[in-house]
């Protein structure tokens, strides 16, 4: 089967690996002129490592990651410690259980895995702007007027914006969004008490600030997540510190001081929890959408859910009897079941 994957980020490459390893001919269409990741930081918990192992890149990511040994929760309003949890640093086989990495440290092993698969082709400077279905095929239209044809189209990353104003997707279950603001800063600019090997989360009723060291401990990843965001869509938009602080008017003094350490911010909007069924229309599917449901020890940007979608597409094909429509419909039914509600307050901030 020939599968088109729009978006060459982590989600798109993971999907290409999962399907290409099963012999499908996969064409990855990336809008940027060069396939590369970014320097954003991610936290990796055991579920993410298990998924990376299933994609064949777990050990490569482990080699590039930094083990973390503690997880702290701070009250975002008062600045007081709420709890502290020692994390098991390694399994009995010596492999890390909880770690941090640059997103590039996950991206590059997936990119190398794609290069090693003869069934996967990577095409840069190819932004998908629309699609049409014709019987047993789907045609993706590119921004430069070209078109490519496949048996299915998988929309990942920013390529999911193709369906935002498409009337065929108008009945998707409404959902709230998160706004995630992120930066990476040199450790010498960080207050001494935050320079150890712990991951820290400051939590409020509808927001969370998280920071943790990155591999070689020369940089700190700092992010702030606003729940129930109602502003314009953000797709890696550059924002200044004043815009970040304005998004968190109720933040406490101590947590605000943490945010003021950051410079060179970027912002993204992502779905909050899973939408109801509706991530598939015929031969077209959305992947990597469930960013809001990550656990407290994981990256709020939804890395685990992107990996889950990719692995699920791969294993789902094994049970589909070669029927593309059944394959995607079953994927939709499994992956878009509503996530359990999480109370607001500190618990909600830890989601």
2-66+103-174+274-343: CATH superfamily: FAD/NAD(P)-binding domain (3.50.50.60)
| CA distances to 158, 282, 342 from 135, in Å | 27, 10, 42
* Confidence grade of residue 291 (pLDDT, cut at 50, 70, 90): very low
Instruction: Please report the beta strands in 135-234, taking only residues with DSSP state E, as ranges in sequence order.
Output: 137-142, 147-150, 152-155, 177-186, 198-203, 207-213, 219-229
Under 8 Å between Cβ of 9 and 38: no
* pTM score of the predicted model: 0.88
d(CA 31, CA 123): 9
d(CA 230, CA 238): 18
For residue 29, the cross-strand partners are 6, 123
For residue 28, the cross-strand partners are 5, 122
Under 8 Å between Cβ of 113 and 17: yes
What does pLDDT average to over the chain? Answer: 86
Question: Is residue 264's pLDDT more than 70?
Answer: yes
For residue 138, the cross-strand partners are 133, 150
Say which residue, 261 or 88, is predicted with more confidence.
261
The string of pLDDT tens digits covering residues 105-156 is 999 999 999 999 999 999 999 999 999 999 999 999 999 999 999 999 999 9
Question: Is residue 77's pLDDT more than 90?
Answer: yes
The string of pLDDT tens digits covering residues 200-245 is 999 998 899 999 999 988 999 999 999 888 888 888 889 999 999 9
Pairing between β-strand 198-203 and β-strand 265-271 as defined by DSSP bridges: unpaired
Domain ranges of the chain: 2-66+103-174+274-343
């Amino acid at each position: 089967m020939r599968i088109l994957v729009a978006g060459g980020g982590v989600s798109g490459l993971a999907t290409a690996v999962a399907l290409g390893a099963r012999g499908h001919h996969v064409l990855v269409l990336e809008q940027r002129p060069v396939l590369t990741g970014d320097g954003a930081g991610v936290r990796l918990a055991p579920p993410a490592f298990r998924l990376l192992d299933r994609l064949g890149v777990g050990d490569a990511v482990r080699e590039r990651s930094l083990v973390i040994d503690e997880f702290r929760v701070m009250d975002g309003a008062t600045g007081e410690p709420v709890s502290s949890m020692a994390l098991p640093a390694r399994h009995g086989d010596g492999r890390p259980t909880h770690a941090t990495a640059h997103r590039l440290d996950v991206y590059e092993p997936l990119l190398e895995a794609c290069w090693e698969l003869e069934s996967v082709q990577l095409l840069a400077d190819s932004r998908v702007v629309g699609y049409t279905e014709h019987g047993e095929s789907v045609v993706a239209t590119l921004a430069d007027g070209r078109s490519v044809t496949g048996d299915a189209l998988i929309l990942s990353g920013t390529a999911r914006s193709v369906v935002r104003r498409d009337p065929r997707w108008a009945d998707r279950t409404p959902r709230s969004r998160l706004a995630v603001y992120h930066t990476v800063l040199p450790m010498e600019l960080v207050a001494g008490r935050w320079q150890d090997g712990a991951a820290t989360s400051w939590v409020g009723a509808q927001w969370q600030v998280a920071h943790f060291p990155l591999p070689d401990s020369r940089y700190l990843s700092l992010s702030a997540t606003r729940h129930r965001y109602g502003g314009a869509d953000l797709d890696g938009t550059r924002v200044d510190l004043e815009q970040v602080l304005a998004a968190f008017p109720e933040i406490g003094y101590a947590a605000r001081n943490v945010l003021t350490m950051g410079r060179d911010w970027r912002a993204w909007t992502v779905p909050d929890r899973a939408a109801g069924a509706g991530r598939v229309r015929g031969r077209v599917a959305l992947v990597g959408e469930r960013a809001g449901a990550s656990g407290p020890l994981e990256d709020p940007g939804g890395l685990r859910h992107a990996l889950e979608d990719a692995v699920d597409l791969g294993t789902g094909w094994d049970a589909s009897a070669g029927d593309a429509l059944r394959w995607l419909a079953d994927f939709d039914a499994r992956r878009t079941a509503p996530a359990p509600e999480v109370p607001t307050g500190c618990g909600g901030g830890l989601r």
